[in-house]
Structure 1
Amino acid sequence: METIKIAVPGLVLRPWRTEDAAEVLPALREPAIALWNPAPTVVDLASAETWLARRADLSGGEHVSLAVTDPAGGELLGSVSLHSIHDGGASIGYWTVGPARGRGVASRAVAALTGWGFGQLGLHRVELCHAVANPGSCRVAERAGYRLEGTLRDSHRYGDGRRYDEHVHGRLTTDT
């Protein structure tokens, strides 16, 4: 897969780099990220580098994981990933660091990578799931053009070890 760089107003989505470890480690320890996007194996810089290496390796074709950065200074704002790519479908996940929340970063990143997936990967459907207890993610999905399709009961165990109901949202390449 070619090197990916997606630029939208106020954001650059780019491949992960080893040098991102110093920003990723504290981000993954933030309480909101640790709850909704747990990475329990990331405990030090070495494990953050391992986490980054897995996300930077796009050779298998089953995921596209990108850093979301500020175009001016390159500061890490978050993460966005298409994963479980198969037969024209995929799922999308994301997180943003505390200072980037409430600024539309996640919804713009999700919309940008979704559009890229439709255009470059030929995806037909992308699914976004989030805990019902995380209303901010519901707003991200809606703002990124994802329609609420239903609720999955006790469908996923999150960072606190509890199972949560999840909303499932979907977006089709034919959606306007």
Structure 2
Amino acid sequence: MSAPVGKTPEQWEGAGVRLRAFVRADETDLVAAFADAAITTWNPGPPEGPTAFVAERNDWSTGTHASWAVAAPAPGGEPGRLLGSVSLHKIDLTQGDAEIGYWVAPWARGRGVGAAAAAAAAAYGFARLGLHRVHLFHAVENHASCAVATRAGFLLEGTLRQSFRYPDGHRHDEHLHARLVTDPLSR
């Protein structure tokens, strides 16, 4: 039996990353992250601004998403600097599946943060929510996201033709990747 999603973020540790609630101190970094073309090309920015983004991501009360700020583990209970974001969304406890999305701040790229965060969020979904499958979509042109998915153990399952309209207004082909609870932790 699966556990329901709580009302607020549950902290979760992964390999070199901490998934935690967004804090007010993250708002400056959120503004910088959503000014970065590598993020905004594939992710719409928060239309209401960082304060609303933080409130929405920290409100798990609908049970349809589990969203976290990604940070490095910090001593003494400090939150640590924002390195990115990861979310399980479209959570369906009846079917035992969810979609995952992520982005990595420019100052944290090239260190495996995205793959560690995606693997940690999937592990949370399997362990705490009883999920069987976690999947993701990314534009075929988004090579960085493809590399993150692959390093996090999400197998490429196929290509969906013109499946999603991105912020550029065009429909892009997307790759579908997935991990099952039965998949090995690393490849």
Residue 54 of structure 2 is matched in structure 1 by 52
Q: Answer 1 or 2: which has greater helix percent.
A: 1
Match of 1:165 in 2: 173
Match of 1:145 in 2: 153
Q: Does 1:90 align with 2:71?
A: no
How many residues are treated as equivalent by the alignment?
A: 172
Give the match for residue 18 of structure 1: 24
**Contact 1:80 1:109 (8 Å CA) reproduced:** yes
Of 58, 67, 70 in structure 1, the residue corresponding to residue 69 of structure 2 is 67
**Matches for 1:74-153 after TM superposition, within 5 Å:** 74-86=80-92, 87=94, 88-153=96-161
TM-score norm. by structure 1 comes to 0.92
Q: Aligned partners of 1:49, 1:40: CA distance in 2, in Å?
A: 9
Q: What's the RMSD between the two structures over aligned residues?
A: 1.5
Task: Specify the alignment match of 1:174 in structure 2.
Answer: 182
The aligned amino acid for 2:23 is R
- The answer to whether the 8 A contact 1:131-1:166 is kept is yes
- How far did residue 34 of structure 1 move? 0.6
Q: Is the 8 A contact 2:84 2:105 kept in 1?
A: yes
> Does the residue aligned with 1:94 lie in a helix, a strand or coil?
strand
Task: Return the structure number with greater relative CO, CA threshold 8 A, min gap 6.
Answer: 2
**Unaligned segments of structure 1, at least 5 residues:** none
Deviations along 1:62-88, one digit per CA (max 9) or x if unpaired, are 000100012247111000000000121
How many Å separate the matches in 1 of 2:91 and 2:67? Answer: 12
Q: In structure 2, give the amino acid aligned to 1:108.
A: A
CA contact (8 A) 1:18 1:53 kept: no
Deviations 1:19-56 (A, max 9, x none): 322211111121111111112515xxxx2101111111
- CA shift at 1:3, angstroms? 4.6
Scaled by the length of structure 2, the TM-score of the pair is: 0.87
Q: 1:3 to 1:95 in 2, by over 3 A?
A: closer
Higher alpha-carbon deviation: 33-42 or 60-69: 33-42
What is the CA–CA distance in structure 2 between the aligned matches of 1:150 and 1:114, rounded to whole Å?
Answer: 20
